[in-house]
Structure 1
Amino acid sequence: MIQYIIRRVLYAFPLLMGVNILTFVLFFVVNSPDDMARMQLGQKHVTEQAVENWKQQRGYDLPLLWNSKAEGKEKLTQTIFYQKSAGLFLFRFGISDSDRRNIAADIQQRMWPSLAVALPTLIVGLLVNITFALIMVLFRNSYLEHAGVVLCVVLMSVSSLFYIIGGQFLIGKLLRLVPISGYEGGFSALKFLILPVLIGVFSAIGANVRWYRTLFLEEVEKDYVRTARAKGLTETRTLFRHVLKNAMLPILTGVVVVLPTLFMGSLIMESFFSIPGLGSYTIDAINSQDFAIVRAMVFLGSVLYVIGLLLTDISYTLVDPRVRLS
């Protein structure tokens, strides 16, 4: 297993480098350093001298990918790509282009509100979805199952934006049970987290319940389930003691792979509810054309996704002893 993990880690380096290059190229195809400077300065009549000063202060006065005027290794090192990418693999994200804040410090501060929303949504959603899926399998081939499938299709056909706006209007404005948006630290954050967590769980019920139901239906037709019934076990005990246990491998795959990405937050959810997490942090950086933050967040998201895939492979060996990594 150690050799497998080392090999996967080595494979990740060219992948992350490719993601970094693609991010760099796509960003500067849309915006030149001059466009970024004019937007950041925010003045109606920006002088060329002001633009050049802004670029020089942030290192955007260098060539993008290749310095034809330099010699030797300086052709690459004296470029914007090298200067902005050299510290990424050491997690040295530098400072933002807009307000000159330390990006690493911002990430450490903003990841906690993102986790406060994402972690309860994942846990509550997992319990709710598995419970509903087991109930549908328990009453399979009945009107209850057919109605549940229709309801799941309806729920998954509605955009998540509808749930967010509808939840804010109904629960936040009409019923006034919780605030519509905002965030506070400590235990005061609870009242601001209830609505986003509920909406996050409810909006994912349709797709997840259908998926878990499919997994459980595949298991209930296998020989070991028939053997369990023949021994006199009730249908409920068979589902919870055997079917659920043997269906944990694909369920665990879906859970483990998203665990590292919980730090990244939800772009739409955090923006609508004004939660100062990493999702809204990324959206604000895109709107303000802050390449330093966008590059850091894309790279961090790629690293976390690679870690999630590796943890998924390792978790297979923990759930199923027959699985061997080689």
Structure 2
Amino acid sequence: MMRYTLRRLLYGVLILIGVNLLTFVLFFAVNTPDDMARLSIGGQRVSPAAIERWKAERGYDKPLFFNASSQGVKKWTDTIFYDRSVPLLRFDFGFSDQGRDIGHEVASRMGPSLALALPTFLLGLLVCVAFALLLVFFKGTRLDFAGVVVCVVLLSISGLFYIIAGQWLFAKILRWVPFSGFVDGWSSVRFLILPVVVGILSGLGSQARFYRTLFLEEAGKDYVRTARAKGLRESAVLFRHVLRNAMLPILTGTVSAIPLLFMGSLISESFFGIPGLGSYTIDAINAQDFSIVRAMVFLGSVLYIIGLILADISYTIADPRIRFE
């Protein structure tokens, strides 16, 4: 098990290096430092002197990978790649194109993102699994048919509709919750109720339908029929056998969702005015601040790889028959 974990960590490091290199190439292939300067200053009619001054202030006046004018090791270190991308491997996010500390922004915005994402994730998982088990318990009945129809309707509607409709009904008409905003401390609960409910409702259709399919597949296997033949109650069959043996695909989806918990929701945070990492990324994209976007892409890759490794490790906990040699 230890050898497997170390091997996966090594693979993860190699993947991160590859993602870092590929991201750098893609960003600078799409937008050269000259293009970044024009976008930041504003307009195409910018003097070459202003462009060179903007690049010199931010360190973009150096070569990308190889500096032939330097000597020794500086041929490789006195480059944009070494200054901008190599520090990411030690989680030094550097500064944005506007001169702000990205690491400080990430640390301060991670709390609001978690405050929204954690209850949405945990309550959403509980509601979806419970709803799917309820449909399986009443399989073949009108309740099961109605539940499947509700799931299809819910997953057919865009998540943006839930946000706009929720703000219009509960914030503007009924005035039960604030329209948008966020404050620190327990007072933030009233600002998070609506986005959490919207997040759960928008994901209920697809997730509950997926879990229902998993549970129905398990419910048709021989060991479940044997349990029923022994006289076990249907609720005991569902919770002791069906749910337990369907945990592997559930763990794959839930543990792999860890990056979303930290990175936040791009749409929800922007619409509800929550100062998390999701809205931070959207603001960086709108401002053409590629330093922030590259840092967010790298951070998302790190969290996603960690999530996949944790998912593999959690398999052995959910199913003792699995052993990695």
Please classify the TM superposition score into its range, dividing by the shorter chain length: over 0.9
Counterparts in 2 of 1:128-207, with a 5 A limit?
128-207=127-206
> Secondary structure, in 3 states, of the residue corresponding to 1:87?
helix
TM-align CA RMSD: 1.8
Output the CA distance in 1 between the equivalents of 2:130 and 2:19. 38
Residue of structure 2 equivalent to 1:310: 309
Q: Does 1:67 pair with 2:67?
A: yes
Residue of structure 2 equivalent to 1:86: 86
Output the CA distance in 2 between the equivalents of 1:4 and 1:268. 37
Residue of structure 1 equivalent to 2:4: 4
C-alpha distance 36-262 of structure 1, shift in aligned 2 (>3 A): same
Question: Deviation digits for residues 137-194 of structure 1, max 9, x if unmatched?
Answer: 0111122212211221111111111111111111111111111111111111111101
> Secondary structure, in 3 states, of the residue corresponding to 1:292?
helix
The answer (yes or no) to whether the contact 2:24–2:85 under 8 Å persists in 1 is: no
Output the CA distance in 2 between the equivalents of 1:152 and 1:276. 31
Output the CA distance in 1 between the equivalents of 2:8 and 2:236. 40
Offset of residue 35 of structure 1: 2.9
Output the CA distance in 1 between the equivalents of 2:280 and 2:80. 23
Offset of residue 73 of structure 1: 4.2
Q: Which moved more, 1:145-154 or 1:204-213?
A: 145-154
Letter in 1 for 2:114: L
Residue of structure 2 equivalent to 1:120: 119
Letter in 1 for 2:213: T
Q: Does 1:103 pair with 2:102?
A: yes
Output the CA distance in 2 between the equivalents of 1:191 and 1:249. 35
> Secondary structure, in 3 states, of the residue corresponding to 2:21?
helix
The answer (yes or no) to whether the contact 2:63–2:79 under 8 Å persists in 1 is: yes
Q: Which moved more, 1:250-259 or 1:266-275?
A: 250-259
> Secondary structure, in 3 states, of the residue corresponding to 2:256?
helix
Offset of residue 64 of structure 1: 2.1
Output the CA distance in 2 between the equivalents of 1:293 and 1:255. 27
> Secondary structure, in 3 states, of the residue corresponding to 2:94?
coil
Letter in 2 for 1:36: M
Offset of residue 46 of structure 1: 5.0
Letter in 2 for 1:63: P
Scaled by the length of structure 2, what TM-score is found? 0.94
Offset of residue 102 of structure 1: 1.2
Offset of residue 42 of structure 1: 5.0
Question: Deviation digits for residues 116-150 of structure 1, max 9, x if unmatched?
Answer: 11000011111111111011101111222122112
Offset of residue 45 of structure 1: 7.0
Residue of structure 2 equivalent to 1:245: 244
Identity across matched positions, percent: 62
Letter in 2 for 1:190: V
Output the CA distance in 2 between the equivalents of 1:174 and 1:46. 49
Output the CA distance in 2 between the equivalents of 1:142 and 1:194. 33
> Secondary structure, in 3 states, of the residue corresponding to 2:17?
helix
> Secondary structure, in 3 states, of the residue corresponding to 1:204?
helix
Letter in 1 for 2:85: S
C-alpha distance 118-32 of structure 1, shift in aligned 2 (>3 A): same
Residue of structure 1 equivalent to 2:33: 33
Output the CA distance in 2 between the equivalents of 1:74 and 1:207. 53
The answer (yes or no) to whether the contact 2:17–2:89 under 8 Å persists in 1 is: no
Q: Aligned residue pairs: how many?
A: 325
Runs of at least 4 residues of structure 1 off by over 6 A? none
Q: Which moved more, 1:231-240 or 1:102-111?
A: 231-240
Q: Does 1:222 pair with 2:221?
A: yes
Residue of structure 2 equivalent to 1:16: 16
Residue of structure 1 equivalent to 2:270: 271
Output the CA distance in 2 between the equivalents of 1:166 and 1:106. 31
Give unmatched runs, 5+ long, in structure 2: none
Letter in 1 for 2:50: A
Offset of residue 58 of structure 1: 1.3
Output the CA distance in 2 between the equivalents of 1:222 and 1:51. 68
Output the CA distance in 2 between the equivalents of 1:13 and 1:319. 26
C-alpha distance 250-44 of structure 1, shift in aligned 2 (>3 A): closer
Residue of structure 2 equivalent to 1:58: 58
Q: Which moved more, 1:88-97 or 1:26-35?
A: 26-35
Offset of residue 260 of structure 1: 4.1
